Homo-oligomer: A and B are copies of this chain.
C-alpha cells in the first residue's frame, strides 16, 4: 500500500526558508507573491494490507520520527 505523508509548519511558526524563497521569487521579477511556506512530503510503500492498520502505523511513524509535533502538523493520505 502506498501512502503520502505531508508535514507542514504550524501557522504560528515563522518560516525563514519560505521568506527566503519569497524574496528570491521577487528578485526574479515574479509579482504578486504574498507568501511562501515550505513543507516536506514522504512517499512510503508499506507491506500492510488494510487501511486501518496502515494508518495507525503511519501515525506512530509521524509522532516518533517524521514530524516534530511541537512545531509541525502532519497529514496522511493513503493510496490503496
**A14 proximal to B (CB < 8 A):** no
Interface residues of A in 21-65 (CB under 8 A from B): 21, 24-25, 28, 30-48, 57, 60-61, 64-65
Q: For the complex, what is the distance from the CA of A38 to the CA of B6, rounded to whole Å?
A: 10
Q: Distance in Å from the Cβ of A78 to the closest Cβ of chain B?
A: 14
A45 touches B41 (CB 8 A): no
B40 touches A41 (CB 8 A): yes
Q: Which residues of A contact B (CB under 8 A)?
A: 6, 8, 18, 21, 24-25, 28, 30-48, 57, 60-61, 64-66
Offer 14 A-B interface pairs, CB within 8 angstroms, sorted by A: A8-B41, A21-B42, A21-B66, A24-B65, A28-B65, A32-B46, A32-B47, A34-B46, A34-B47, A37-B42, A38-B40, A38-B41, A39-B40, A39-B43
